Structure 1
Amino acid sequence: MTLDDILDRFYPLPDASKQAIRDLVKDVRYPKGHILLTADKVERYIYFISKGMVRAYADTPNGQVTFWFGAEGDVALTMNSYIAGQTSYEDIELLEDCNLYRIDIKKLKQLYQQDIHLANWGRKFTERELVRTEERLIAMQFKTAEERYTDLINKNPDLLLRVQLGHIASYLGISQVSLSRIRAARR
């Protein structure tokens, strides 16, 4: 996915504004298993996913809890660092070899102050992330595991082909055995 395609997913930008972002971007590639962002650290960069799959997770006394997946067109970042300049609480791991567009957060925020189109783009991007977080919270509170699974595969049908079932079970807040039962009942 091109950078322009990704930017347009959030908010249409004039060519001059897109060029200002392009001037900040560095293309990077990392292998499967690479930890892109690390918990307990203030992260300096956000990443747009051109190719590949990532997951965000937190370590708990009972193991890792996956709470987000990202694929082509998504943004990999820690909101705590991006918004508040504070340490993150999650790690972001590459589940596949990834091609990414990396942008320095500080430089991006300087562009927000210089260009109203980019400021609006940043607002729309943040609003989208807030809505996604709210949807996840509501699903965990009010939907059954089977409903959450159905929603997940309806929104991301290729996820089952690209992500280990253990990560999917963790994301759904269930055991891998429970996930296997749900999948078997759907066949």
Structure 2
Amino acid sequence: MNIDQILDKIYPLPDSSKKNLKKYISEVNYSKNFCLMEADKIIPYIYFIKKGIVRAYSTTEDNDITFWFGSEGETVISMKSYVEDKPGYENIELLEDCEFYMLKTEDLRKLFNEDIHISNWGRKFAERELVKTEELIISRQFKTALERYKDLMKYKLDLLKRVQLGHIASYLGITQVSLSRIRSEIK
């Protein structure tokens, strides 16, 4: 997915504003298993996934708990770092070799003050991130693992083909054995 498509998906910008924003965006590539973001660190960048899949997770004493997957066209951000300039709580691991568009948070903040269209784009961006978080919380609180798995099949089928089952089970909050039961039940 190209950067114009990603930016427009968030909120369409006038050509002059988009051109100005794109001056601050660069492309970076990292290999599978690279840790793009680490918990307890301030992350001064926003990433847009051009190609690849990532997972967000937190670590407990016993294991890693996956709470989000991102793929082409999605944004990778530590909202705590973005909003408050404080260390985030998430780790972001690359599950494939990935290509990103990268934007420094400080550059974006500067552009917010210079261009009302980019400022509105940033507001829409934050609103979309809030809605995604709300949907995730509601799904975790009110849906069963089977329902969440069916949602993955409906909305993120390619993810099920590209992500190892251990990460899917962690995302669903179940063991791999339980995931196998769900998968055989659906077939």
TM over 0.5: yes
- Which secondary structure does the structure 2 equivalent of 1:72 belong to? coil
Question: How do 1:36-51 and structure 2 match up within 5 A?
Answer: 36-51=36-51
Any idea what SS the aligned residue of 1:47 has?
strand
Please name the residue that 1:28 is paired with. 28
CA distance in structure 2 between the aligned counterparts of 1:71 and 1:21, rounded to whole angstroms: 22
Matches within 5 A, 1:20-169: 20-169=20-169
Q: Secondary structure at the match of 1:158?
A: helix
TM-score (norm 2): 0.98
- Cα deviations by residue, 1:126-179 (Å, 9 ceiling, x for unpaired): 111111111111111111110111112211011111101111111111111111
Which secondary structure state, in structure 2, belongs to the residue aligned with residue 118 of structure 1? helix
Deviations 1:69-90 (A, max 9, x none): 0001001111110111100111
Deviation at 1:62, TM superposition (A): 1.7
For the residues of structure 1 that align with 2:185 and 2:72, how far apart are their CA atoms? Answer: 30
Residue identity matched to 2:83: I
User: SS at 1:96's partner residue?
Assistant: coil
Q: Equivalents in 1 of 2:152, 2:161: separation in Å? A: 13
Q: What 5-or-longer segments of structure 2 have no aligned partner?
A: none
* Equivalenced residues, count: 187
Indicate the percent of aligned positions where both proteins have the same amino acid.
Answer: 56
8 Å contact kept, 2:152–2:160: no
Secondary structure in structure 1 of the residue aligned to 2:69: strand
**For 1:17 and 1:153, how far apart are their aligned partners in 2?**
37
Aligned-pair CA distance for 1:39: 0.8
Structure 2 distance, partners of 1:136, 1:151, is 11
Query: What is the CA–CA distance in structure 1 between the aligned matches of 2:173 and 2:8, rounded to whole Å?
Result: 32
Structure 1 stretches lacking a partner, 5+ long = none
The one-letter code of the counterpart of 1:152 is L
Query: What is the Cα-based RMSD across aligned positions, in Å?
Result: 0.7
Structure 1 residue ranges (4+ consecutive) displaced by more than 2 angstroms after TM superposition: none
